[in-house]
Amino acid sequence: MRDEKSILIALGGNAFQAKGEAGTPENYWRNAYSAAETIVKIIKEGYKVVITHGNGPQVGAILEWMDSLSDKIPPMTMDIAGAMTQGWLGYLLMQAIYNTLLKYDVLDHIKGVIALVNQVLVDRDDPAWRNPTKYVGRYYSREEAYRLSKTKNWVMKEDPRGGWRRVVPSPDPKRNIESQAIKRLLEDGWIIIASGGGGIPVVRENKSIKGVEAVIDKDLASEVLATELKVGKFVILTDVDGVYLNYGKPNQTKLNRVTVSQIEKYYSEGYFKPGSMGPKVLAAIRFIKNGGVASMIGHLDDGYNVVKGFSGTLIVPDD
Ligand code: ADP
Ligand code: MG
């Protein structure tokens, strides 16, 4: 039996930086504190909580910093950049949640808050290696893109939003290397921030593991961790109030409560955009099929009600 009071919450980009907002430290802190309010409200209800988060804009910023200073400081590799974002964003959340627990006088009931650097295993044979799809870093002109493809062996693609960008593979996450430690911490009463940015992608090589130049989808990686921890509920908080059919069209309709078979059918019919809602729905489906009690997708600002099932989209096993 799964404990319905243990949950994994996957935070979207809006927990740090709203779309179109400048990425200043002030904005990062304000958004992190706002997310912390939601999380602490959930903790106060007696939930054991593991938090994961995305890192798209931040890893993009680090790549750009490295790129613009490459004549002075040797650039790091993408796996190292991913580790940097886990420290950066983990720190923000860790302190914001800690202070918010103090503010409401609930820190005494839990051990504390801990952010981890965390690796996720991907497969060497994943088809994604042959078809890189994930845009990372800055935009280049066609000429620069050509030069980079020759000098750095980067795969460059024209971005529909304009300009040329580097693309990297997005392999499917298989296993969270540190999940046993996370499980122990969770049972012991810690609030844990893990698998940031989908985790640092590693592959197995002989008798070791090794970081690779790739980006793991944070929603899919969150599901892998949620399943390994055997939490009861998997909650994805983002900047939209649920999953819609015909999203953005005049006839859009929100899904309030669906069974896994129903939403799987919609998924296979192409209702959900790859790269945004698609991976969230796929992760939600996988969690239920792997034995989870409920997956929910909703707005971060309404996170408490999403966890309670009063808001957002609730995905449940077939009756
Ligand atoms: P996050 O940082 O939380 O992962 P994303 O931008 O990746 O955020 O995904 C959330 C976005 O998905 C929403 O802002 C919305 O515009 C978009 N979206 C695409 N398709 C749908 C859909 N079918 N229903 C709801 N939102 C959708
Ligand atoms: Mg996303």
Highest mean pLDDT among 54-58, 95-99, 131-135: 95-99
Q: Please tell me the distance between residue 247's alpha carbon and the centre of ligand 1 in angstroms.
A: 9
Does residue 12 have its Cβ closer than 6 Å to ligand 1?
yes
pLDDT at 1: 79
Nearest to 140 by CA among 153, 132, 149: 149
Q: Which residue has the higher pLDDT, 271 or 20?
A: 271
Cβ(121)–Cβ(175) under 8 Å?
Answer: yes
Bridge partners (DSSP) listed for residue 173: 122
CA distances from 219 to 215, 234, 242, 271 (A): 12, 10, 15, 17
- The tokens 């392999």 sit on which residue? 171
pLDDT band at 138 (very low <50, low <70, confident <90, very high): confident
Which pair of tokens denotes residue 294?
Answer: 């409920």
Closest-lying ligand to the alpha carbon of 240? 1
pTM: 0.96
Does residue 66 have its Cβ closer than 6 Å to ligand 1?
no
Q: Please tell me the distance between residue 276's alpha carbon and the centre of ligand 1 in angstroms.
A: 5
Q: Please tell me the distance between residue 224's alpha carbon and the centre of ligand 1 in angstroms.
A: 20
144 has pLDDT over 90? yes
pLDDT band at 20 (very low <50, low <70, confident <90, very high): confident
Task: Give the mean pLDDT of the chain.
Answer: 96
- In what helix (H) or strand (E) does residue 183 lie, and over which residues does it extend? helix 179-187
Catalytic residues: 13-14, 134, 218, 280
Does residue 304 have its Cβ closer than 6 Å to ligand 1?
no
Antiparallel, parallel or unpaired: β 112-115 and 134-140? unpaired
Cα angle vertex 29, ends 23, 32, to 5°?
105
User: Which residue minimizes the CA distance to atom 5 of ligand 1?
Assistant: 276
Cβ(65)–Cβ(74) under 8 Å?
Answer: no
Summarised one tens digit per residue, pLDDT across range 233-273 is: 999 999 999 999 999 999 999 999 999 999 999 999 999 99
Summarised one tens digit per residue, pLDDT across range 166-223 is: 999 999 999 999 999 999 999 999 999 999 999 999 999 999 999 999 999 999 999 9
Does residue 243 have its Cβ closer than 6 Å to ligand 1?
yes
Cα angle vertex 283, ends 179, 296, to 5°?
100
Q: Which domains does the chain have, with CATH numbers?
A: 3-316 (3.40.1160.10)
Closest-lying ligand to the alpha carbon of 266? 1
pLDDT at 162: 85
pLDDT band at 137 (very low <50, low <70, confident <90, very high): confident
pLDDT at 275: 85
109 has pLDDT over 90? no
User: Which residue minimizes the CA distance to atom 7 of ligand 1?
Assistant: 276
Cβ(7)–Cβ(42) under 8 Å?
Answer: yes
